[in-house]
Chains A and B, each alone.
Chain A
Amino acid sequence: MPRIGVFVCHCGENIARTVDVRKVAEDAGRIPGVVFSTDYTYMCSAPGQKLVMDAIRERGLTGVVVSACSPQLHEPTFRNAVQQAGLNPFLCEMANIREQCSWVHPNRAEGTAKASLIMASAVQKVARGRALSASEVPVTKRALVIGGGVAGIRTALDIANAGHEVVLVEKQPSIGGNMARLSETFPTLDCSQCILTPLMVEVSRHPRIELITCAEVEEVSGYVGNFRARIRRRPSFVRADLCTACGDCATACPASVPNEFDQGLAWRKAIHIPFPQAVPSTYTLDAASCLNTQLVSSKSGYRVLACERCADVCSRKAIDYDMRPEIIEREIGAIVAATGYRMMSGEGLADYGYGRYPDVVDSLEFERLLSASGPTGGEVLRPSDGKPARDVVFVQCVGSRDPVHGYPYCSRVCCMYTAKHALLFKHKVHDGRATVFYIDIRAAGKGYEEFVQRAMEEERVLYVRGRVARVTQVDGRLVVYGADTLSGQPLQVRADLVVLASAMVPAQTNVAARLRVPTDAFGFFQEAHPKLRPVETLTAGIFITGAAHGPKDIPDTVAQASAAASKALELLSKTRLQREPTIARVDEAVCMACFECVRICPYQAVEKHEVRARDGRLLRVVARVNPAMCEGCGACAGACRSSAMDIQGYTDTQIFAQLTALMTGAAS
């Protein structure tokens, strides 16, 4: 038989005015199992709490009901007090007779009757409650950062500077991401490389950052604080410990392919370094373009290579054709996904002549044309014939805000970088003509509007409000067909170069699937809450940052990267993690293995568990809840037909007893 104490609070006049608190306490005294009931002016005051603690000690209470305000306010207070008196905190329940009774029901008789029912419901819940204790799991103090763009770099540095180990995994041979490709950055016109390179170097020199390039995360298992990552590193065929990046190998290499770093606007050799400031500063042999393709990928042993020129010239003997893919496994506590973006490609760009006319480029390609380290040395030359471009047309919202050809969302950065492009172009070609087609100008950042005004007013960039219908070529020159919606006139503009501000779309990775975290309709990572948990995912211990989460500019990306780092640090700063005990539990004897719970669980917390006999024979498979991952929502329990699944602290038994008390009265 439970021994329950009921403590009814007056809350000054807040409750007592419309609820007869003495009557509620008397009603409580008549409920079987209630051995003590009383009322007091302010239960949350120190004497009030002492009343509760003394009663627990003196009367050996097994459960406590505090009839007072909303649990959102004082549940922690009383659970704490109860715990101090030696009772499990989960055997204390609040009966909310203030917010949900005295404050909304002015009729004293009705209010009192309802307060008694609310109290009785809480008594029945506590009577069927169980002592619950938070489970604890250890934390591996190491973070995995996936993606080495500016977001991943910032996150990795923040975590490492705070004293924790970081594994930074980058798919490409160098970190730097898209930011390394940019020429200048808005609105300050800082050189992108100049501000990024120091961070890249810091990563490479950091004693607590393990940088793994040419690599992808293949599998992630485990749960918060206790992940295990399998990382596959592609062979670079160049030993990083020997390579001095002298470049002799590239000079000797006979195979040339378009350089992806320059968006295919220039050439590189099969053995190459992506760009001069690359980190790690090591050459990489790209097996796909090396003349020895088949041989390099064959098993070692007897081999005849068609070409060994790079190995021949390398004085350090750094070339190793026998290098194999490598699997690296790491124990991880927290994961940050910073997989970034790419430019939209494909059909949606066909109307603009992209892919058909070489002088129609996207904005990342134009960045390379503007860049001093780019294929043209910073001169704006037409890709078709290498002649200087004098008339440049910039088209905004290509695939953005355009569900028909692309995506309904706004890519957020195009207004700003287009202004920057036009401005930089005018700086380089003083008598050139820059025309921008736009829908709206969205320049809502610090110094952004001023920057756009500068492009319009100081540099005389012509802004035309209207969409572009198509781009064609007439007599060897590009013609842009658009409309000026302010004057209502159709417009044709001749151009040497057309720059498309194409939509930012998520980088093509399967990282989200491997982490088993949801993405939105476009493939961007889904945050746990759009306002209150913007860098967390629903899976505890996995965080997101940068353009992988949605289009954003560099300042926002860096801010979010530090936010993700701080969330990861919050986790890594603990030695053990406490998990709420109000979670799901399976009665394995009852589970019939339909596994609807496995399908339903948004946290992947329900697993199929094999029950085996002593001799190892498989007896049956049942559902089992991983307490480290369960959040206690109860969607599984609401679906379970055999009622094998229950939520601790909100059990079916408790709910039934509460419903009965609410409907049939206090003394039942």
Chain B
Amino acid sequence: MTEPTLQARTETAAPTWKPQIAAIVCNWCTYAGADMAGTTRREYPASVRLLRVPCSGRVNPLFILKAFEQGADGVLVSGCHPGDCHYVQGNYFARRRFAAFRSLLNFLGLDPRRVHFSWISASEGIKWARVVGDVTRAVTEAGPLTDWGRASSPAQVTLPEPPAPRPQPAAAELEAVTGHVRELAASLLREGKVSFVLGWAPGPSPGQTIPAFIQRPEDAATLVFDTHSHADLAAFLAGPRKVSGKVAVLVKACDARAATTLLAEGQLVREDVVLVGVSCPGMWRDDRLAYRCHSCDGEVGALCDFTVSAAGVQPGALPTGAKRATGPDPRDLQNAHLESLPAAQRWAFWQEQFADCVRCYACRAVCPMCYCGSCISEQHRPQWVPTSIDGRGNTAWNLVRAYHLSGRCVGCDECERVCPANIRLDLINRRLALELEQRFDYHAGTDPEGAPPLATFRPDDPQEFIY
């Protein structure tokens, strides 16, 4: 199957240019509504091509991505009105998914005139014709989509510098924590309460701290906790167990949220792990405080079995009293700047970022939420993500991952830290997390029993973006 080249598509943008719009519609309402428009001979632009699915709930938002990739200039997804779904709830789930995916596309700077959602019933032939007219007009105004997978002009964006961080913690504090961690690890192993301890140890090069897997009490002495204990150890917990017995795992505040989400998603059995919360003074990258740590007080979640601080080890997840001063989140400041820019410039910025992606999948490897044994980026029937390392493939991959993390990302920013191309994945994930917090009052990593925000709904969820 050959793809029209970008150039070919640009050339078709003559004055008589008419957009190509993919309309993904549900069988019971909108498809029948479109039929009704036909039966009553209500003319509308021929730009829209329909794809029939059983229900708007069937629509994986990544279909929208696929449509753009295949040359659509605009996409319309339409289903039954809330409360009228043939399958009762499908459109409620769809509404949440579209809200998340739409905010992702908006943040990345895709022209908002290109993506549309509507509820059209089987009797609303008139509405169908009107919506197709409106959508066609909007997409025509936006023009041919020529910059999918590339920046049409240099973005020239300089992100604002973060505010001054708090001072580095005293060496004595970290040494004290390290000492208590070692004691606790050794005693847990010695008493046979766990068969493994997952912690951090010095890496091969100076200033590097890496994950460590301890099985013998005497090896506990190799453990450390310092301002470079970046690795989110919860990432090692997901998926089928390969070791027997309990595992103790050291978690910072962000890692504890990851463990909580894994519990909520059934990837972890609470009884199988001993969670050891570590009172965290913040992680440092070279000489700057990691962005996520600016707004974090370092307190671990309510889930831990032990909490370690400079003062010692205490059972449970009681506050250590070492609450640290917090400030504004640099990611939010930088996102605010990005969002103040015109969409086209933002799109160029992100396309420049994605252009550097080498598809090493390090982001996926370190992510505690990326636990699929078979990632869809590596599935070829159907091919969700083009394998080519080019703008199209890279855009698809980064969009897929961002969407799959929506409502799940706990903001540990490990993906961004390990990215060899320095793609600001942290900004995307942060923006989407805030969107879901505001929309659905959902805070990832706080409730081990709660339903993920895209796996539930409220009949009165906001739908200001739907025709």
With both beta carbons as reference points, the residue of chain B lying nearest to A641 in the complex is identified as: B404
Chain B residue numbers with a CB within 8 Å of A655 are 51, 53, 63, 66, 382
Flag A576-589 by CB within 8 Å of B: 1 or 0 each: 00000010000001
Would you call A173 an interface residue if the criterion is a C-beta within 8 Å of the partner chain's C-beta atoms?
no
Chain A residue numbers with a CB within 8 Å of B129 are 104
Q: Which one of B32-40, B246-254, B302-310 contacts A?
A: B32-40
Chain B residue numbers with a CB within 8 Å of A600 are 57, 89, 93, 455
Contact yes or no, A99 B22, CB < 8 A: no
Flag B229-271 by CB within 8 Å of A: 1 or 0 each: 0000000000110000000000000000000000001110000
Contact yes or no, B265 A594, CB < 8 A: yes
A594 to B97, CA, bound (A): 17
Nearest Cβ in chain B — how far from A106, in angstroms?
6
Chain B residue numbers with a CB within 8 Å of A70 are 35, 38
Would you call A546 an interface residue if the criterion is a C-beta within 8 Å of the partner chain's C-beta atoms?
no
Question: Assuming the A-B contacts A592-B371, A655-B63, are A100 and B50 also in contact, with contact meaning beta carbons closer than 8 angstroms in the complex?
Answer: yes
Nearest Cβ in chain B — how far from A544, in angstroms?
15
Number of residue pairs A-B, CB distance < 8 angstroms: 184
Chain A residue numbers with a CB within 8 Å of B70 are 659-660, 662-664
Contact yes or no, A659 B22, CB < 8 A: yes
Contact yes or no, A104 B35, CB < 8 A: no
Q: What is the number of residues of chain A that contact chain B, defined by CB distance less than 8 Å?
A: 63
Would you call B296 an interface residue if the criterion is a C-beta within 8 Å of the partner chain's C-beta atoms?
no
Contact yes or no, B382 A656, CB < 8 A: yes
Partner of B381 from A633, A637, A653 at Cβ < 8 Å: A653
Would you call A642 an interface residue if the criterion is a C-beta within 8 Å of the partner chain's C-beta atoms?
yes
Contact yes or no, A596 B455, CB < 8 A: yes
A662 to B44, CA, bound (A): 18
Q: Which one of B1-9, B186-194, B314-322 contacts A?
A: B1-9
Chain B residue numbers with a CB within 8 Å of A592 are 239, 267, 371-373
Question: Assuming the A-B contacts A121-B51, A650-B58, are A668 and B90 also in contact, with contact meaning beta carbons closer than 8 angstroms in the complex?
Answer: no
Partner of A659 from B67, B86, B90 at Cβ < 8 Å: B67
Those of B450-466 within 8 Å (CB) of chain A: 451-452, 454-456
Partner of A599 from B22, B44, B86, B456 at Cβ < 8 Å: B456
A663 to B66, CA, bound (A): 10
Chain B residue numbers with a CB within 8 Å of A361 are none
Question: Assuming the A-B contacts A105-B43, A662-B51, are A635 and B87 also in contact, with contact meaning beta carbons closer than 8 angstroms in the complex?
Answer: yes
Nearest Cβ in chain B — how far from A553, in angstroms?
26
Chain B residue numbers with a CB within 8 Å of A653 are 381-382
With both beta carbons as reference points, the residue of chain A lying nearest to B53 in the complex is identified as: A650
Contact yes or no, B66 A659, CB < 8 A: yes
Chain B residue numbers with a CB within 8 Å of A647 are 54, 58
Contact yes or no, B38 A103, CB < 8 A: yes
Chain B residue numbers with a CB within 8 Å of A101 are 38, 46
A647 to B20, CA, bound (A): 27
Would you call B49 an interface residue if the criterion is a C-beta within 8 Å of the partner chain's C-beta atoms?
yes
A70 to B36, CA, bound (A): 10
A651 to B51, CA, bound (A): 12
Chain B residue numbers with a CB within 8 Å of A658 are 51
Nearest Cβ in chain B — how far from A537, in angstroms?
10
Would you call A632 an interface residue if the criterion is a C-beta within 8 Å of the partner chain's C-beta atoms?
yes
Nearest Cβ in chain B — how far from A512, in angstroms?
15
**Could you list some 17 contacts between A and B, CB below 8 A?**
A72-B31, A98-B38, A105-B44, A111-B46, A595-B266, A633-B57, A634-B58, A635-B93, A639-B455, A641-B372, A642-B373, A643-B379, A652-B382, A655-B382, A659-B66, A663-B70, A668-B1
Residues of A within 8 A of B (CB): 70-72, 96, 98-101, 103-107, 110-111, 113-114, 117-118, 121, 518, 528, 538, 582, 589-590, 592-596, 599-600, 602, 619-620, 631-635, 637-643, 647, 650-653, 655-660, 662-664, 668
Extra A-B contacts (20), CB below 8 Å, given A631-B87, A652-B60: A96-B50, A100-B35, A107-B46, A590-B372, A594-B267, A595-B265, A596-B455, A600-B93, A633-B55, A635-B90, A638-B93, A639-B455, A643-B384, A650-B58, A651-B382, A653-B382, A659-B67, A659-B72, A660-B1, A662-B70
